[in-house]
Every structure is written in C-alpha cells, then in structure tokens.
Chains A and B, each alone.
Chain A
Amino acid sequence: MEPVWIVLIIVGALGLIVLFWYIATMNGLRQLEVKVNEAESGIDVALTKRFDVLSKMVETVKGYAKHEEETFMNVVKWRNNMPEELTIEQKEEFMQKMDAVQSGINVVVEQYPELKAEKVFSNLQHSITDVEEHLQASRRLYNANVSRLNSRIVTFPVSIVASKIGMNKKEFFEAEVNKRQDVDISF
C-alpha cells in the first residue's frame, strides 16, 4: 500500500476517534445538565410544598401571631410579583423569607404552649419538618449535581466541548450560614 494511503487512513481513524469522543462527551454533559435541571425542579416542588404548609400554619396561629401573619402576607405578595419560573437566586430569597416566617412562628409557639398541644398544629409541625427535610435533600442533590457538572466543564479537554455547545458553570443553591453549618460533615 502507498504511504499516502496509510497516512490518510491513520488521519481518518484519528478524526473518527475525536468525533466519537466529542459526541460522547457532549452527550455526557447534556445528561448531567438534565440531572441538574431535574434536581432544580425538585427544589421547586419542595419550596411550593413548604409554602403551602407554612400558609396553613400561619392560618392556625393567626390569633396569636399578628406580626407573623403580616410577614407571611408580604411573602405572598412578593411571590405573586415574581415570574412563574424563579432563578436560583430568587429561590434562595424565597427560602430565606419562609425561614423568617418559620422562625417567627417558632417564637410564638414557645410563648403559647397551648398551641403545641393542638392536634392540628402538631400535625402541621410534623409536616413542615418533613417538608424541610425534603427541601434540604433537593438542595443537596442539586448542589452535588452542579458540583459534578462544573468540575467537568472546567477540566481540559472537556472544557472545549462545553464552550462549543455553550454550556456554562451553574450556580449553587446556597443555604444561609446556619443551615450550611448543619450540612458540614466531620468524620
């Protein structure tokens, strides 16, 4: 066989390898992005559930907590003025606003122990704890996926594919300082 043909075959084979690698890497990045988006929608679901349970809690304690009711109404107004799809930053803000209402309710409950004894309220407290755990799980899953995606797209040569398909680093869903401390693990 002519040397020219051998060179052409080698170049062609290398080109095919690069093409296959490019497609595989692109698909891998897209799949990771889908996982990030799925996890983000998990946060949306958990935030909505928390909002619903919190509104029921506010309804239950409104006789005792005028201030918390007003704070919650402000959160409702804020949410109504926001677009349907919130950005990560807006979701963080939404969560922090609900945290503030929740802390207020906790203070009221400490002041009025008879509230704790109410079956409806204790069920709601149980629900809110569960909803918050789901929210934390969604947030951690989202951040774990974002961390994986971000570390892949900054690593050479995957970074070339990422920039070609216009994929950028994703934002983390940050919890406020005290929540973040809960997540720190020391073995």
Chain B
Amino acid sequence: MDTILKPLNKKKKVSEIFMGTGGVVLIGGVLLFITGNTFIVMIVGAILLFIGLAYFNHVGTIFKSKVLKKHLEETIENCVYDPRKGLDKNEVMRTEFLKRPDRIKTEDYLAGELDGVKFVSSDVVLKERQVTHTSKGTRTRYVTYFHGRVFRFDFNKQFKGAVQVLESYRPKTRRNFEKVSLESIDFNKTYKTYATDAHTAFYILTPHFMESLMTLEKKHPGNLGFSFLESHLHVAIHNRKSSFSIRPFSKLDTSLLKRFDEDLNIIYDIVDDLKLNKDIFKEEE
C-alpha cells in the first residue's frame, strides 16, 4: 500500500503547492488590478490555481482507481467500482421521487453483493435550470437540488404495486398513489408514506421495518427517500456529500479509507437493519 501512497502523496503535495501559490498570487493580482496596476499577475495566479486543481483531481482519480478500488474489492463481494462511471439518468429516475433534472452528474459507481443482497449505487448531482428575467436581460443558472448517493437493492419480498417512504420529497410519478397513515405517530411525523394500495404499505412496512427506517434516519443525517418497486428498493440520500472525494492539505493514508468505510456504513445498515438478507426477502432457489 505504501508503495502506491508515497508517490501519490508527493504528487498531491505538488498540486497543493500549485494551488496555494496560485491562490496567493491571484489575491495579490486582484489587489494590484483594483489599485490600477496590470492584470497579468491575476492571470498568472489563476493559471497556477487551475493547474494545481487539475493535477489534484488527477491525483484523486489515481487514488480511487489504484487504492480505493482494491480496498473496496477486498470488502465487498463481486465488487464493481468505477470512479468515472455512475448510474444512468433512467436508473436515477426509477426512484420515482427525484425530479427530472436539466443537468445530471454521476460518478463513483459501486455495485456488489452484501450478505447475498445485490446492490448498485453511485454519487449523483441533479440540477435544474432557473431563468430569471430582469431589466438587464435574461439570466440562466443551474441550481443543485440533489447531491448525494442513490442506491438500488434487490428486494425479494413479493408485493403488488408501489410504495414510497419519503422524508420530504413528493412522488414524481403518474401512479395512483394514496397517502397512507401508519399506526406509529413518530413514523408518520418523520416520513410520509405513499402507496398504490394501503395493504401493500402495511405489508412492507412491518413495525420492525418502520423502527429500522427510523434508526436509519437517525444514523444518517440528510434527506432520505425509499421507493419499493418491482422487487427493488431504491434509496436516495441527499446529504450534500461526495462519497469518495479526497481533501486538499490532508494526507492520503489508511485513515482515509476508514473514513470511506464509515460512508459505506449506510449500505450495511440498509441490508442489516431492513433485514434484506432474511430468507423471506430472498428468491427461492
């Protein structure tokens, strides 16, 4: 591991020197420009900063494909990890509660099997186009409304229709959903439940399952959404986090992998807490 990490840390340091110098020169350049001097210094600062950022991202990609990939493959059965790939737009829209985006960015595709439960996931950023008309003209900008991770798990309990359990999203589907009130007041306060048929909601959301969803909400801050559809459980967590991003000015070592493992805990928690690995949820051989 050290044979890979040592040269990577050196490269990272170079990128940080470029970024740091670029930042200082840029600030100085801006000050000079404001006081009526040349703008060349500002341009030089910006170029240095840009080179530093590009190199830092390059180091991040090498770290992901050489160190993190190996680590994930050791941890997760049948692991497929690709830092450049992500879930496609249709897969993300299959949650049926995330709004159709005008721009989508997905990365850090991770698929595999935990305790016999297959899953696919990736980081997702969804943006919508906002157009503002002012006296000076039209201004268009893209606003992020979802930044987090989207998962799809195998859910082998047989059921009819669809059920959504949402913290603050609303269903985005033409299905004929009705709002269902479960018997737990706390659960109804935390999540809103929508189902094509109330019986299916009560069938999937057993008291234990509700309790587990509450535990998940406490353990993983963010805006959670669960969608049960066609033998799959789709989960989206909007926590404004990129799962496997490295930070500037911090060392690349095994403690970083531990931090990533903590981020991965949600997968273990979903499989264990929701008992997706129990017999009743599994397909018969």
How many interface residues does chain B have, given as a range?
Answer: 10 to 19
A136 and B206 within 8 A (CB): yes
B244, chain A: closest CB distance, angstroms: 32
A134 and B203 within 8 A (CB): yes
A33, chain B: closest CB distance, angstroms: 15
Within 8 A of A (CB), among B174-191: 181-184, 186-187
A129 and B211 within 8 A (CB): no
Residues of A within 8 Å of B284, CB to CB, are 123, 126
The count of residues in chain A whose C-beta lies closer than 8 Å to any C-beta of chain B is 24
B118, chain A: closest CB distance, angstroms: 20
Using CB atoms, name the residue of chain A closest to B211: A185
Most buried by A among B198, B214, B284: B198
Q: From known contacts A129-B280, A144-B182, A187-B184, infer whether A182 and B202 are also in contact, taking CB-CB under 8 Å.
A: no
Q: From known contacts A133-B280, A140-B183, A144-B182, infer whether A183 and B207 are also in contact, taking CB-CB under 8 Å.
A: yes
**Taking the complex as formed, is B265 at the interface, i.e. its CB lies under 8 A from any CB of chain A?**
no
Using CB atoms, name the residue of chain A closest to B210: A185
Q: From known contacts A138-B199, A144-B182, A187-B186, infer whether A130 and B280 are also in contact, taking CB-CB under 8 Å.
A: yes
A76, chain B: closest CB distance, angstroms: 27
Most buried by B among A130, A140, A147, A148: A140
A187 and B202 within 8 A (CB): no
Residues of A within 8 Å of B198, CB to CB, are 35, 39, 141
B207 and A185 within 8 A (CB): yes
A184 and B199 within 8 A (CB): no
B199 and A141 within 8 A (CB): yes
A187 and B183 within 8 A (CB): no
Contact with B along A149-187 (1 / 0, CB 8 A): 000000000000000000000000000000000111111
Contact with A along B236-267 (1 / 0, CB 8 A): 00000000000000000000000000000000
Within 8 A of A (CB), among B185-225: 186-187, 198-199, 202-203, 206-207, 210-211, 214
Residues of B within 8 Å of A133, CB to CB, are 203, 206, 280
**Taking the complex as formed, is A137 at the interface, i.e. its CB lies under 8 A from any CB of chain B?**
yes
**Taking the complex as formed, is B168 at the interface, i.e. its CB lies under 8 A from any CB of chain A?**
no
Q: Roughly how many angstroms separate A186 CA and B187 CA in the complex, as a whole number?
A: 11
